[in-house]
Structure formats: C-alpha cells, structure tokens
Chain A
Amino acid sequence: EDQVTQSPEALRLQEGESSSLNCSYTVSGLRGLFWYRQDPGKGPEFLFTLYSAGEEKEKERLKATLTKKESFLHITAPKPEDSATYLCAPEGHDKIIFGKGTRLHILP
C-alpha cells in the first residue's frame, strides 16, 4: 500500500534558524513528488515538483531534494512569513497521496 510519512509533525524555529523537513514514502510507480505550502483555512499552494532521485529545486529560502525513498525540504534563514504547514505528496501510477504535513512556526 502506498504510504507517506512526514516528520517532524511540528517545528518551532527562531527567525534565521535553518532546518530540514523530512518526507518518507513508499509508492509504486513513482511519477513525481510535490511539495505544497498550506496556510490555515486555505487550499494548498504549489511549491515544487521533483521527478527523479538526485534532483534539487530552489525557491527563495526553500530547497527541495529527492532520493529513492525520501524527500527533504530545507529552509534556510527562515522568516516569520514562512510559518505554514508544509505538505509532501508523491504521485504513484494511480493517485497522488499527501502526508499529514509539518506545521512550521517561525518566531520573530
């Protein structure tokens, strides 16, 4: 059965304190892996798509990487506006499943 696990569930950082979020997955026929950001009460907002192991993508303070079993979202020198829930979503051959997310809170 396809599964995705994100860790940690919640993370509190001081502004400027870098860290990484983990996404472990077991998906048959992986086509790609998405990262999304979700603010309270809103729909998820697209960040990245990764297609193959070794691929990296960057956007402002965020960098996503992919291995055969995991993906990481690295946050460098975060700001309070980076506070949100970050969702990982691997796509298999017949559906896209989401992890429960990591709730990130950046303290000023």
Chain B
Amino acid sequence: EAGVTQSPTHLIKTRGQQATLRCSPISGHTSVYWYQQALGLGLQFLLWYDEGEERNRGNFPPRFSGRQFPNYSSELNVNALELEDSALYLCASIRGASTTGELFFGEGSRLTVL
C-alpha cells in the first residue's frame, strides 16, 4: 500500500512569489491535515480537509489556503511568500474525520524563501 506522497520534495522561491504544494493521501483516507514545521517551532496546525470540505484552519494568515479534490488529494497554496514561510510542510492523512487510528505522514515538502 502506497503511503502519503508529497510533491515537490524541495522548492525554492523568492519573496512575493507563490508556492503550491501537493499531497496524495493513502488510498481510502478521506481526511488530510497540513502542518508547517519551521525550525524550533514544532508542527503548527495549518488546515484540515475532509470529504472535500475545509473543516478547520490554524492561526495563519489568509495567504495560506488550500483545497481538497474529489479524489481526496490536496493542495496547499502560499501566496505573497515571506522569508518566515521557509519551513518543512507536512501533509498527513487519516481514515475519516473521526480519529480511529493513526495519522499517516508524508516526508514533507521543504520550502525555502529567499
């Protein structure tokens, strides 16, 4: 069974540009979480999608947005990039909106903003 896959693995952008990160959940998983892991800050909750709907978002500005597609894959968009957006962006999937087991993580997309 394929795990959670994220692309790209690495992305380098300059300030003011836009970044798009993608996530494919494990087959059968309908819920996708996005987290930002900046150096020294731990995993910060960004967004939660389930069955195509945004269920909740963390304390991030509106320039962080995303969506979930009918096949349950998801996309995270970051507009007007700032230097402090440099981080590892982790996607995780889980079966259904109610927790019945583990959150499976991908290996992350490392975004560097110059």
CB within 8 Å of B: which residues of A?
31-32, 34, 36, 41-46, 49, 87, 89, 91, 94-101
CB within 8 Å of A: which residues of B?
4, 33, 35, 40-45, 48, 55-56, 58, 88, 90, 92, 98-99, 101-108
Return chain A residues, CB-CB under 8 Å to B44: 98
In contact, B35 and A98 (Cβ under 8 angstroms): yes
In contact, B105 and A49 (Cβ under 8 angstroms): no
In the complex, A96→B48 CA distance in Å? 9
Number of A-B contacts (CB under 8 A): 53
In the complex, A31→B90 CA distance in Å? 22
In contact, A43 and B42 (Cβ under 8 angstroms): no
In contact, A95 and B56 (Cβ under 8 angstroms): yes
7 tightest A-B CB contacts, nearest first? A43-B105, A100-B42, A98-B43, A46-B102, A94-B56, A43-B107, A44-B105
In contact, B103 and A96 (Cβ under 8 angstroms): yes
Closest to A44 in B: B105
In contact, A49 and B43 (Cβ under 8 angstroms): no
Max chain B Cβ within 10 angstroms of own Cβ: one of A31, A34, A96, A101: A96
Return chain A residues, CB-CB under 8 Å to B104: 46
Return chain A residues, CB-CB under 8 Å to B99: 31-32, 49, 91, 96
Return chain B residues, CB-CB under 8 Å to A44: 43, 90, 105
